[in-house]
Each structure stands twice: as C-alpha cells, then as structure tokens.
Chains A and B, each alone.
Chain A
C-alpha cells in the first residue's frame, strides 16, 4: 500500500535504529515510511554531567570501573572513559552486571563500580546484581545509576508539538513491562504503536501493521512479550529501585523517569559513598536535543560528518552503534 506522504514512524529503541540501518530497511520502505530515531539509545540519553561524574569516579584511586562496552568512547566534557583508561584508570568491559559482582568478590581490595546505564531491559539484571552483592555481604561493590524508564520520555515527546504518525516499540522493554504499558500512546495521544523484535522480518511485520492501521491501537508482534510483562523482573526492580526524576540529554529533566536506589540500598550507591562532587551540566555543540526527539535528521545536522565523526564525536549519538548519527554515518552515508 502506498501512502502519498511517507508515514513518520519513530523507532524508540536504539537496537531498532541499529537494525534498521544495518538491514537497509530505510530504503526498503522508501516513500512509504520515514523512520525517525527516538530517545531509546541508553548511552545517547545519558546527561553530560552523568558522564563527567562517571569519568571523575574512574580517575579516583583504587577504583575499578566496570561498564558495558558502549560507554567507553562517549565524550565527557574533557575526556572519555577510554581516555581515562589511557591515563591510568582501571576500566573493564563486562557483559553482565553479575560479572562485576563476581569480580568484586574475587578482588576484595578493589572498590568495584558498575556503571548502570540502560532502561527496563537492563534494570532487572542490575537489581539482581545488587541483591546478589547484598546476599554475599559485599562491601566493595557499587553502582552509578543512570537507569531510566522509557514511557515518560515518549510522553514528553508527544506533549510537545510533533509530526510523528506512529511508534515502533521495543520488544525487549515490553517483555519486562508488558506491552500494555504503552497503551497510553493510542489511548491518550491517538497514535498507533506496535511492539516488535529486532530482526528485519519482525520489523517489517510491525511496519506493515502500522501502514495498515485505520484506528490507533497499541499492539504487539514480539513473541516473547505479554500484555502484563515479567512479574519477577518487575518485582526485582521495585525491591531495589524507586522512581525519581531523571535528567536526559537533550530532553532535560523528566519527572518520574529515573530508577534511583532505595535508601535501604544506599550502601551500593557510588555517587553517595564516594561523594562525587556536583558537576554542572556543560553545554556541547551537539544537536542531540533535536536528534533524540526526532526533529532533526542526522544528515541535516550542520556538524554531521564534518566536525562530528565516530572518531571525533561531538556527542554520544555519534559514538554508540545504537545512536542515530552513528547508525546513519556507518551504514547510510
């Protein structure tokens, strides 16, 4: 089915951004769908001040930072974590927060800080790691939490003036929260939304449903997701975290969008334990505010592929492979 004007579909999740660029889906739906990237790249939405605090933590003596690989090259105001590692900081890449707990157990003299970056998908794993560390009575395991929840960010974008016609929702988040958590998109904002997996086949299926939608509905085609989600995972998150206000790069402060360690787990909070100084949010030239809301295409940013490239990025959207600018640069340029 051909529409006159292509539908503007926001893919919320960074993994979708990556998959769409890698598989050539932008060209596949050329003329029918205009995919625009949303706020779902966890690295990209981390505030500059959070990144600077993580780097200052890495540079403290006797601290081992454990992080997902994506964070390494993200530019802070002065240096990146990779830069900190080059000047002597102990920064290790792990695949699971539980690996950081095991490392802390095996290295009791080191203060191990896991950089907790991500959404509902990584939050249960991090909650499980903290519960394990508590069970093991570890005194040398901490997290720096930048964990966020995605629905308040979608609401923020929809409350502003926008020309989004529909949403491709993250299947992985839906597995945890249940896809009905996104019902508000169709009920309140009258836009269609489909939760989907990450293979080209699954994205095509969801995209075709969005093209065929007559009345706005929130639907799901991800076989692992249920309407209500994973109760165990939700319980683990609730046990360890409470909901707080989060600062998002580009979107600013969003009420109720951050997962904050509960006071009964404050011994695990690196920010409090190591008394990290407040760092003022520095302004960067990066146009991430517009990029993350889907209001500017990477290729139309004045810095894209000129002063901003993956080797010398102005912001994280050019670093993380899930970032809109990096996906554009690496696959579409």
Chain B
C-alpha cells in the first residue's frame, strides 16, 4: 500500500484497514479505540469548544507540516480562551493517490503534538476524493477544553492601562511558508513557529486568574488584525514598534518581499493583555517556557486612543496600525 485510494474512504474493508493499521497505530487511545460513531466524554463545569480547517499549501514546510498546524491551531484557540484543551477530533479529506508515507509523516507529527499538548484525539473521520477534487490533503479539527473557574478571558475585560505582551518573534511562519511556496530561495533557518501554547496559558490563568484580561493567538492577519479586533468604542492600544520581537532574518526577508511582519500569520504566538500590576509576573511566566522565551511587553491599552491602534515608530512619531486588507500582496520594487 503506497497510495491512498478512493476505496480507503468508501467505508468497506480497505477503510477498516486504513483505520486499524494506520490511524489507530498513531492516534490510538481508549476513547478512540472504541470506534463508535461518537465518542463519549466526561466533563465537569464549563467547556470551551472550537473548530478549524487546514488547507495550507505546501503541506510540508520548514519546521512542520499541515498536521502540526491542525493540532496546534485548535489547541491554541482553546488555550487563548483560558481553557485547558482536553479532547480533539480529526477529520481528513484526502485526494486519491496521496502517498501513504506522507500521510504517515503527518499522522506522526499530529501524535507528537497532541501528546505534547496533553490532548486526546477522541474521534475522527476520513474521506477520499477523486484526483483533482482536493489539493492533496485537508484537515479539520475541533477541540474541547475545560474552563477553570478563575478564567475570564475576553476582550471586553480590557481596561485603560492594561499591558500588552507578545509571546515571541513574529513572522517566522509566514516567511517559511512563502519561501517554500514560491521557491524564493531565501537561504535562512527560518522555520514555522507552530507550537502548542496551552502550557503557558494554563499557568498564566492558574497563577494570575482574572488579571489575565484577554488573550488571542496571532494567526491570520497578524498582530495588526488581532489588536484592531480587540479595540472597542471605549478602548484602543498604543504599541511601540521597537519593542515588538522579531528575528533578524525574518525582518530582512519581510523587507525583501515588501511585506509587513505585523500583518503576518504566526502559528505559535499569542498576545496577552494583563493588568499593569501583574504584567512583570506574566512576562516571567511566558519567558520561562521554551515557546515564550522571546516574549516582550509591547504596549498598553489606552482610553485616549479609543477604537484605534497607534504604533509608536522607531523614530518617535505615532502612526495608525490598521488591519490588513485581504491577501498579503508583495510590492513590485
């Protein structure tokens, strides 16, 4: 068996073979092994529930693959809501002819990421489409997380003077993907930053509780979008350009491509809004984790600039930081 065939998704013998000999080999656990039509989960109290689909092209890129993103993306959506990610569902839509060795590589990454994040793959599905109807492989994941009693994470909690922390260097994921997608030939070690962030966020909630006002993972649209989404008629943000962390190589690549790191998607970074009193402690907690070692305080929530995001440039003047429009389009020269 070298390739996925339509029969693998048809529900018969070959489907069972794919599930038993491949998927369960990688994902097996007492809940999934039941192979019932629905998983039965124990929950107590409030849960957080989210879903996301992954269609990235190319499916393999420096530092990761579509499977990494599918686990980390859903784990992080739960994590930044203050929840403890617990269960995850995985649905594959695969193009006929997809190489089994590539599928195994994806399953292996997903198993590793799920184990790192401490989530159980509780249920799933596999469909196979004829050639050309899917671009290699699409993955949908949904996740359930338990909400601790002291978690109250929402943009509406943000008050004047609250502090903004970015958990690390911005832009690496987008640059890695663009470099792989367009064969840009940028010779660098820039890799995706894809990572589960729940260990950091859980510790933030456990230690600082309601002082953690809001959190967002900095994915599509980048920091510029996330900040603009969190503004309200009462509150805005002032951010210092010089404080926003990025690696030298990602910043250089972005300049070369005529793109803005603040508009780029990341897969292992989040923005934390914390009360001023607990900001230093929050920064310490984030920096202690390997996925947060480059974290920095980048600015403040301010009622003076309500409804807006203002960026203090390196030269000193303030300018608007608006959400990007649609697809990031590189400039001519």
Contacts and interface: CB of A to CB of B under 8 A. Distances in A.
Interface of A: 14-15, 18, 21-28, 42-43, 68-70, 72-73, 93-95, 99, 117-119, 121-122, 172, 200, 204, 310-311, 320-322, 330-333
Nearest to B319: A331
Interface stretch (B109-117, B286-294, B310-318): B310-318
Interface string B315-333: 1111110100111111111
Contact of A72 (B182, B320, B329): B329
B257 interface: yes
B182 A22 contact: no
A68 B320 contact: no
Given A24-B313, A27-B319, A28-B316, 9 more contacts: A23-B315, A25-B315, A73-B326, A94-B182, A118-B332, A311-B325, A331-B322, A332-B319, A332-B320
Contacts of A330: 320, 322
Contacts of B38: none
Nearest to A326: B325
Name, among B313, B314, B327, B328, the residue most crowded by chain A CB atoms within 10 Å (CB to CB).
B313
Given A95-B182, A122-B332, A28 B315 contact: yes
B325 A70 contact: no
B184 interface: yes
A305 to B, nearest CB: 12
B258 interface: yes
Given A330-B322, A331-B320, A23 B329 contact: no
Contacts of B318: 24, 27
A231 to B, nearest CB: 20
B279 to A, nearest CB: 26
A112 to B, nearest CB: 16
A68 B315 contact: no
A70 B330 contact: yes
A133 to B, nearest CB: 18
Contact of A42 (B317, B322, B333): B333
B329 A95 contact: no
A79 B317 CA distance: 38
A117 B315 CA distance: 33
| Interface residue SS majority, chain B | loop
Contacts of A321: 258, 329, 331
A118 B184 CA distance: 20
Contacts of B183: 99
A330 B317 CA distance: 15
A117 B329 CA distance: 15
A322 B333 CA distance: 9
A121 B333 contact: yes
16 contacts: A14-B331, A22-B313, A23-B313, A23-B315, A24-B315, A24-B317, A25-B317, A27-B317, A70-B329, A70-B330, A70-B331, A95-B330, A200-B313, A200-B315, A330-B320, A333-B322
Contacts of B325: 310-311
A80 to B, nearest CB: 12
Contacts of A311: 325
Interface in B179-207: 182-184
Contacts of A24: 313, 315-319
A177 to B, nearest CB: 14
Name, among B314, B325, B326, B328, the residue most crowded by chain A CB atoms within 10 Å (CB to CB).
B325
B256 to A, nearest CB: 9
Contacts of B258: 321
Nearest to A320: B331
Given A23-B314, A94-B182, A99-B182, A15 B319 contact: no
A188 to B, nearest CB: 27
A200 B182 contact: no
Contacts of B322: 330-331, 333
Contacts of A15: 331, 333
B320 A333 contact: yes
Contacts of A322: 331-332
A117 B316 contact: no
Contacts of A21: 319
Nearest to A26: B317
Interface in B240-273: 257-258, 260
